[in-house]
Structure formats: structure tokens, C-alpha cells
Structure 1
Amino acid sequence: MPTLSLETHHCAARRPAMALAAALVALALAGCATTQRPDAALPAMAVPAAWSPDHLVYTPDADPQSLATWWQRLGDPQLSTLVEQALQANPSLASSQAALRQARAQRDATAAGLSPSLDGSGSAQRSRSGNSTGNSFSLGLDASWELDVFGRLASGVAASDADVRTAQATLEGARVSLAAEVALSYIELRSLQQRLAIARSNLASQQETLQITDWRMQAGLTTSLATEQARAQVAQTAAQVPALESSLAQTRHALAVLTGQNPAALDTQLASVVRVPQAPDALALQIPAETLRQRPDVIAAEARIAAALARVAQADAARYPSFRLGGSLGLRALTIGALTQGSSVASALLGSISVPLLDGGAARAQVRVQEASLEQARLNYAGTVLTALQEVEDALAALQGDGARIAQLRVASEAAAMAALLAQQRYNSGLVDFQTVLETQRTQLAAQDSLANAEASLASDHVRLYKALGGGWTPAALQSPAAVAATN
């Protein structure tokens, strides 16, 4: 890559002419640089006008803060406290925060290339020749500035700006996922507590039945077969208790770690049994297009396209000449004190043009590399949008199915409890055999356990829906100075 240069010493009269010539060249060639809006590179996506389960009850969500703090809609103050604790203290967010700080620092380093640079230097030398010695001292300033005629440096800054936006959207996405994970774990914990209470209640009832059966056997009113069947059922139900207790402890530990605490820190706080939190029946939904603008992963995908587009422009600009202005000013004297008095002054002004003539096609290949990266970013964006739409539709379908399932399970649970009570009374009166009691007790336990599971699933469906809608943050946070300061 040849370099054409022009250097003058003590030629102050020529400096304005050189600066004017450089400015004219820059203005003449600036028209060759082209820019493209980042949104013009977004792939065309067919976004539906509304969500498909249109028979569900929707209410417009006019307040963005309602979606940003969706966990408050579940009506459980303890859940809200745990989510807030996790967002403040969870250690997994530290990595995303560090990545954001890195992206901002990299952007600042890239932007510095647009400004002139100034370096200072100084030296002291002592020399000896025969019997004579000599000293020399010098001070100097070196300045340089690259004229960004074709926008190579500006494109690099634009790419870094997009990287910052990507990193910040990724951080917000981590917050969204964390809030949902805390809520899902909390719902699972309350469900396990409820299922454990159901198992213990049924176990107590079955133990009473076993005692009655044992008395009846001793009185000769029944055989040992009924007693052994009752004992087997008691043991089977009792075996469920330690399994549920173990799962409950593990879920409680997971919640503590999510909130940045030791695993056993929440044992006392979450010891009491509380019902599974339930969201209101009315769903606050956005239209699909608004949902995509709300989701941080879609915003991050858009930012990656903007970064890739800027890097295409940067690689293309590297194929054209680059222009640089430089200058130096130096003072030289035999003593340090003379540097500010009788020192000699040396100055230079340098204007250079670097023109790529022969590189074996490397510059064009680099453009193709960045164009391929842009195409990957576009495809990734399309996949992200489709995934976002699917997650919302899946959550809505799950809500519909679990809502209908719960309605039936409630009927089944009430009927099973009544059947178990009637069977027990009739058995005590000798009107039915013990096999009927066993079947009704098994059905009661299964129906109650299924209902508890379904209620937890319905609450989890709401959490997944709010996450799919992009709940847990506000897009304005990407531009908020307070949010920027909070993540530094």
C-alpha cells in the first residue's frame, strides 16, 4: 500500500494551503460514501394483527408499568419481595452487567479515533567524544488526525453503538428471565406445599381407616386381607411425603440462591403454607407488533443487524483511500533551562494519502465476510420474531387448556371427596366391602393432587405469558440516563 507524503520544515505559509486542499478533497470525495438506515435492513416479517385465541377475555394494557412489574398482578406480596431481591442481588446478572460495561468502553475507544491525537515526548542525552562531553535536551509534541472521508471510522462508532444497545438489551433480557424464574420457582414451592398438605391429610385419613380395619379384624368382622390392603395403601401414601418434602426443600434453596442468599436463608420465611398465587381472569395483552417492540431479545436482534450493517459500511470504506494530517513541534537545547529561552525550534507538517492498490482481493473478501454476517443477523432476527410469536401463542393456548382443565378437576375433586366420605361411612356400617373404600381414597388423593398441579400450571402459564409479552422491564430503560448509571 503506497503512501504519498509531503513534508515541510518552517513553512508556515504553506500550511493554510495544504489544509484547504485537504478539506476540498474531503468534500469532493465524501459524496462517495453511502449510508443505509438500520431499519431498512430488517427482513420483511408477516406479523399477525391479533392473537389467535380471540375468545379469551382481553383488556388493553394502557400502563406500561403494569407489564414492567407484572408479578404484582399475582397478588402475593412475598413473591413481589423475592423478585425485587433477585433483581438487586442475583449474581448471574453481574456477567451481563460486565458485558455492558465492556461494550461501552469499547465504543468510547472506537469513538476516540474520530478526534485528533496529541503525544508528548522528552529526552535527555549525554555524549562523550575524547576529552569533551556534551549534553542535549529536547521536548516535543506530535499531533495526528485521520480525515474520515469515506465514513470508515464513523461506521465503526455506529457498530459500537449498536453493540452497546445489544449488550443493554441482553442485560434487560436477563432481568426478564430472572423475574420469571423466581416466579415459577415460587409457584412450584407453593404448589409443593399444597400437595404435601394434601398427602398428609389423606395419609391421616388412611391411617384412621387402617385402625378401624384392624379393630374389625380382631373382632372377626373382616379378614386380614383388608388389613394388609389398608396397610399397603398407607405405606404408599406415606412414601410420597418425603419425596415432596425433598422437592420442597430443593425449590426453597433454589429461590434463596436466585435472590443472592445462602440456600437455607429462606427456610423460616417460606415455612408457612400459602395458596398458589393466581393472576386475575382478565388478561392484559398487547397486539403482536407492540409485543415485538417490548421484548428485549427482539430489540437485541435488531441491534445486531444495525451493528452488522455498520461493519459492512466500514469494510467497504476500507477499500478507498485514507487521508491523514500530522504535525510535530520540538524544542532542543544544551541545558534544561535553555529549553524555554534560547532553544532551537523544529516543526513539521505532514499530509499523507494511503491508497490500496493491490491486496489480493482481501478488502473485497472482508466486505463479503461482513455481508454474510449481516445476512446471519437478519436470519437470526427472523427466527427471534417467530419464536416470540410462538411463545405468546403457546402461553395463551396453555391458559385456555389449563383453565378448562381446572374447572373439571374441581368437580372431580369435590365428587371424589364426597365418595370417599360416603364409602367410609358405609364400610363402618358394614354396607360395602373394603375394596370400595380403597378405590375411593385413591381417587380422592389423585383428584386433589391433580387439581393442585393444575392450579400451579395455570399460574405458571400467566408467568410465561407475561415473559413472552416482554414483561419485566420498559424499553425506555435503554435510553434512560438513570438506567445507564445504575448498570455502571
Structure 2
Amino acid sequence: MSVRWRYATALAVSASLAACSAGPDYRPSTPSDLGVPAAYGAGSGAAIDPAELAAWWKGFNDSALDALVDRAVAANLDLAQAQARLRQAREASIQAGADLLPTASASGGAGRNFDSNQSDSGSYSLGIDADWQLDLFGGVRRAVEAARADEAASGYDLASVRIAIIAELVTNYIQLRLAQQQLDITEDTLRYQRDNYDIARWRVQAGLASSLDEQQARTQLAQTEASLAEFRTSIRGALNRIAVLTAQAPGAATSSLEPIAAIPRPPDGVAAGFPADTLRQRPDVRSSERSLAAATGRLGVAEAQLLPSLSLNGSLGTSALTTGGLFDTITGSLFAGISQILFDGGARASQVRAQQAAVDGAYATYRQTVLTALEDVENALVALSSADERERQFAIAREAASNSALLARLQYQSGLTDFQTLSNIETSLLSSSNSLASSRAAQALAVVQLYNALGGGWQTTGNGNGE
């Protein structure tokens, strides 16, 4: 058999062997495999509008909030870090794919020789060397599969960061508006309490009441004024956090948000969809699934290390005493070698078992992520339902307390009731007003919690996996 036919036969055998890859082929689990229910226990089962889910914060109809989210998505530094990690993963995928191809290098040399007879001669050489590690049992292809799965997981991790940043920004915006509303309520209450204090002093001076009324009014006024600092601190903290989330230094960057504005009203009738949809919508679930795929691919890499490896090496070269004669004679060689580990103390077999354990752990993590996602949605649905009911009841309480306070003020001015009764009613009005504001903020925050649990906010980011 000629040399040409021997090498052709070797390559044909290599190609047939390469058709089989070591390790198991990855098969994604279906929702039924994971025990996912058909519907949420606390949900209506209505389908979700994809456009609404992708830009859910626009449902609050607040232009200032929309502008903040746009800036955070464009400039947030946590997102910038996640984007850098995704670029690294992409390059790792390219590097893994390069192992499927041969490597080649070129060399060249030139020299001058001298001797004692004052004669000299030149020498020149050119050479090309090539090496190819054939992927006989698919170990490299499994490594490429793992690298691509890691790349996809990094993309979904970026999407998860985006979701978290948007949710945190909207949360702080709502908390800012709540603190502003509570500050406004307290300042409005102070105006009434100053009037009550003046009335109490006048009644004491006129001998219509004891000095106890005056001191009670003074105490109430001081306690209410003391609470102003707490709300101002909450406002400043929310403003500072919003500045950092939008990659700005705290201070002047958020001055446009300092004027008091209403708590944004959430949209009505938010749908939760179906659990199987949530698994597709949540990037953390998809990232966990890709991590399982990567671990499965690396199991094939480990198993391939137990099998023989085949390499092909070749070279071409030429040398001459002058540059003109470099290509007169060209020499070359081609060598094929096969190797097999006979004894390594069980190290490679141990690596296979270790990687199998990694696969088992990745699968458990994936299932845990799925269950946690379903739990998040169920909890968010309950929180939203509870917030709606609390808002309705606090609205009734606020109306009743306002009516009671109006009557009590008139009765105290007329001497028909004592100041302690008025003080209690005024305190109840302040409490119910703050509770109503808090319940409205809780409604908005429950919607944020639900959309965050559903995985909203990344579906229109270009390539479908977070960037």
C-alpha cells in the first residue's frame, strides 16, 4: 500500500471515530419533568402581553420614571460589569472552537559565516510546521458545547442584572414619592396643630381651660415636628440611591426629583400568565438550565480523556546559501501518532466521577431555581391582592378620620369637648393618612415585585439573551 493510501485510510478511520462523541447528549427538561403546575394557585391564568412585560414600568404612566429607567439601562455600572463578563464568555467560546482546527507556525532564518581565510558565506532557511490534534471521541466538541452554554448563561445573567436594576430603581422611586407624600401630610397636619395650640393657649388665658390643654397641644406639636427629619432622611436616601443606580454622583444629579409628586399608580389587572411561561421569561432559570448544559458537556470532556488521542504533525522546509536558491529544494515530513494513558493512579476516572457530581449538583440547582421562581410569583400575587384590599380599607379609614377631626376641631373651639379627645382624633387622622399613602405605595411595590418575579424587563434587549 502506498504512503498516500495509508494516510487516506488513517483519516477515514479518524473521521468515523469522530462521529461518536464521548459523554451523554444534553436533553433539556420539560416543565412536566420538573413538576411545574399548569396554573398559579393565586393567579387568574390570563396570558401576559409580551410588550407589556418587556417595558412593564411604563404602565405607571410616569415620564420621570421612564427617563430614569432609560438612563439606568444605558449607564448602570453593575450592568457594565455584567456586559464585560458576557464578552469574556464569548471569547472563551471562540477559544474553545479554535481547538477543533490545526495550528501552524512559520519560521525563517538568515546568517553569515566567516573563517580565518577571510572568506564568508550566507545561509538562509524557511519552514512551516503544522500540528492537528484530531477530536477522535468528541472531547473538544463537548468543550465547545460547554463554552457556548456558558456564554448563553452569561447572557442570561446580564438579563438578570438588568431586571434587578430596573426593579430596584422603580422601588426607590416609589419609596421617594411615598416619603415626599408623608412629609407633605405631616406638614399639613402641623398647620392644624399650630392652630390648635393657639386655640388652647387662648382658652387657657381666657380661663376656659386648664394649662393642661396648652401643654398637651405643645407636646403634640413637638412630636409631629420631630417626625419631619425622618421623612427628609428617607427622601435623601432614596435620591442618593437613584443617583448611583443611574451612574451619577449623589446630589445635584437628582435635583429635578426633589419637588413633591404623587405616588405612581400601578396598572389595573396585572396578569401572571402560566408557570411554564415564567420559566421561559425568567433569565435566572434559563441561566441555570444553560449551566446544567455546560456541566453535561464537561462530563463528555472528562470521559474523552480516558480514550486514545490521535495527532498529525507535518512540516515543510527549505534552506540555501543564497536567497535565490531557497526554493530549489523543499523537504517535508508528515507524522501521525496515537497515544493512550495506561496508568495515572485513577486520576482521570476520578475526574469523570467529579464531573458527574457537578452535573447532579447543576441539575439540583436548576430545579431549585425553578421552584424559587414559582414561589416568587405566588408570593407576589398574594402581596398584590393583600395590598389592594388594604388600600380600600385605609381609604375608608382616612375619610372617617378626616370627618372626625373636622367635627372635633369645631367642638373644641366651642368648648364642647376637651383637648385630649381632639389630640387623639388628630393623631388618628395623621396615622390613617400615612397608612393610606403607605398602602398606595405598597400596591405599586407589589406590582414591581410581581413583574420582577415574572422576569419582565429584558425581552427586547436585542439578541434575546440579555444584551
Residue 135 of structure 2 aligns with which residue? 148
Offset, 1:135: 3.3
166, 171, 181: which one pairs with 1:179?
A: 166
Query: CA deviation digits over 1:274-332, x for unaligned, max 9?
Result: 21112222122210110111100000000000000000011101110111111100011
Asked if 2 retains the 8 angstrom alpha-carbon contact of 1:43 and 1:378, the reply is: no
Offset, 1:49: 1.1
Aligned length: 466
Alpha-carbon distance change, 458 to 32 in structure 1, aligned in 2, over 3 angstroms: closer
Query: CA deviation digits over 1:10-40, x for unaligned, max 9?
Result: x9x6144213223224415744745413315
Offset, 1:346: 1.9
Deviation larger for 467-476 or 65-74? 467-476
Q: Distance in 2 between matches of 1:401 and 1:394?
A: 11
Amino acid at match of 1:440: I
Query: CA deviation digits over 1:57-84, x for unaligned, max 9?
Result: x6432x3121010001112121111111
Partner SS, residue 28 of structure 2: helix
79, 98, 115: which one pairs with 1:93?
A: 79
Pairing 1:71-470 to 2, within 5 Å after superposition: 71-128=57-114, 131=117, 133-340=120-327, 342=328, 344-470=329-455
Asked if 1 retains the 8 angstrom alpha-carbon contact of 2:14 and 2:134, the reply is: no
Asked if 1 retains the 8 angstrom alpha-carbon contact of 2:23 and 2:297, the reply is: no
Amino acid at match of 1:21: A
Residue 67 of structure 1 aligns with which residue? 53
Offset, 1:247: 1.2
Amino acid at match of 2:58: Q
Asked if 1 retains the 8 angstrom alpha-carbon contact of 2:17 and 2:136, the reply is: no
Alpha-carbon distance change, 427 to 359 in structure 1, aligned in 2, over 3 angstroms: same
Query: CA deviation digits over 1:347-393, x for unaligned, max 9?
Result: 11011111111111111111111111111111111111111011101
Alpha-carbon distance change, 189 to 476 in structure 1, aligned in 2, over 3 angstroms: closer
Offset, 1:335: 2.6
Q: Distance in 2 between matches of 1:85 and 1:32?
A: 47
Asked if 2 retains the 8 angstrom alpha-carbon contact of 1:187 and 1:459, the reply is: yes
Asked if 1 retains the 8 angstrom alpha-carbon contact of 2:204 and 2:210, the reply is: yes
Partner SS, residue 125 of structure 2: strand
Query: CA deviation digits over 1:458-484, x for unaligned, max 9?
Result: 10000010010010011885458xx7x
Residue 23 of structure 1 aligns with which residue? 12
Deviation larger for 26-35 or 466-475? 26-35
Is there any run of 5+ residues in structure 1 with no aligned partner, and where? 1-10
Asked if 1 retains the 8 angstrom alpha-carbon contact of 2:316 and 2:330, the reply is: yes
Partner SS, residue 436 of structure 2: helix
Asked if 2 retains the 8 angstrom alpha-carbon contact of 1:41 and 1:305, the reply is: no
Q: Distance in 1 between matches of 2:260 and 2:238?
A: 14
Partner SS, residue 326 of structure 2: helix
Partner SS, residue 231 of structure 1: helix
Asked if 2 retains the 8 angstrom alpha-carbon contact of 1:42 and 1:305, the reply is: no
Asked if 2 retains the 8 angstrom alpha-carbon contact of 1:417 and 1:444, the reply is: yes
Offset, 1:402: 1.4
Offset, 1:117: 1.4
Offset, 1:272: 2.4
Asked if 2 retains the 8 angstrom alpha-carbon contact of 1:114 and 1:153, the reply is: yes
TM-score under structure 1 normalisation? 0.91
Alpha-carbon distance change, 392 to 40 in structure 1, aligned in 2, over 3 angstroms: closer
Asked if 2 retains the 8 angstrom alpha-carbon contact of 1:199 and 1:445, the reply is: yes
Partner SS, residue 257 of structure 2: coil
Asked if 2 retains the 8 angstrom alpha-carbon contact of 1:41 and 1:378, the reply is: no
* Superposed CA RMSD: 2.1
Asked if 1 retains the 8 angstrom alpha-carbon contact of 2:125 and 2:326, the reply is: yes
Asked if 1 retains the 8 angstrom alpha-carbon contact of 2:86 and 2:151, the reply is: yes
Asked if 2 retains the 8 angstrom alpha-carbon contact of 1:192 and 1:248, the reply is: yes
Offset, 1:224: 1.4
Q: Distance in 2 between matches of 1:186 and 1:362?
A: 56
Offset, 1:404: 1.1
Q: Distance in 1 between matches of 2:396 and 2:17?
A: 81
